[in-house]
Amino acid sequence: MRWSNIRSLAHVKYFNVCYIALVAIPVLAEIYLHFQKPGHHSVFPWQLTCLYLSSICYALGLALYQFACPQIITQYERDTDYLQAEKEVHMNARPDRKVEIVLSNLLDAQMNIRDRLVSLRMLREPNSTQTAELDSIIEEYYPSCVQRYLLAEYARKDLRLPCLIWICAILYLVGTAIMLFLVTWKTIKVFQA
């Protein structure tokens, strides 16, 4: 389970409208109780109570999502959207750290490049050929390393706080189960009439 999965649930319109039910149902309950005849005790409709519980689940899930979900997940729908928006910024952000960025984001299959970069970086006084080679390697691999870094960062953030992701999902599922029960029950009642 990922935050990006929960993100799609958080954009369902009903989940955002659940706050209305959280306010309206208690008001309806007070009005209902106010108009009761003295000495006559009746129970508030259980369907509205279930709708209220469902809305509480949705509201808690939505609040937890808004509180705990990393900003890049809420801001960007997919990792490629994040990459597209941030790549240029990261490409120009730290020119003095390009060697470290490349070294930390090379693939395992690129060990020979890593070894060559390390050896060139260790030279105390590199000649112009060595400096040109270092610059050439950096310019060739830097864009793909930045891309790899950004995609990995999005993936890390998407999996951050897994317990809270599951709590959010469970709250949405419980709220949805209650709503499905209510809709099914009402449908059966309509067709029985």
Asked if 149 and 178 sit in the same domain, the reply is no
Amino acid at 46: W
Residue 184 lies in a domain: yes
Q: Are residues 99 and 117 in the same domain?
A: yes
For residues 107 and 145, membership in a common domain is answered with yes
Q: How many CB atoms lie within 10 A of CB 3?
A: 23
The structure's pTM equals 0.75
Asked if 166 and 155 sit in the same domain, the reply is no
Evaluate whether 29 touches 44 at the Cβ level (below 8 Å).
yes
Per-residue pLDDT of the chain (193 residues; tens, 9 = 90+): 999 988 887 777 766 667 777 788 888 777 877 777 766 666 778 888 888 899 899 889 989 999 999 999 999 999 999 999 998 888 887 777 888 888 888 998 889 999 988 888 888 888 989 889 988 998 899 999 999 999 999 999 999 999 999 999 999 999 989 989 988 988 888 888 6
Which residues span the domain enclosing 98? 81-159
> Do the domain assignments include residue 119?
yes
- Residues 173, 60: contact at Cβ < 8 Å? no
Tokens (6 digits) for 42: 């009746």
Same domain, yes or no, for 8 and 42? yes
> Has residue 75 been placed in a domain?
no
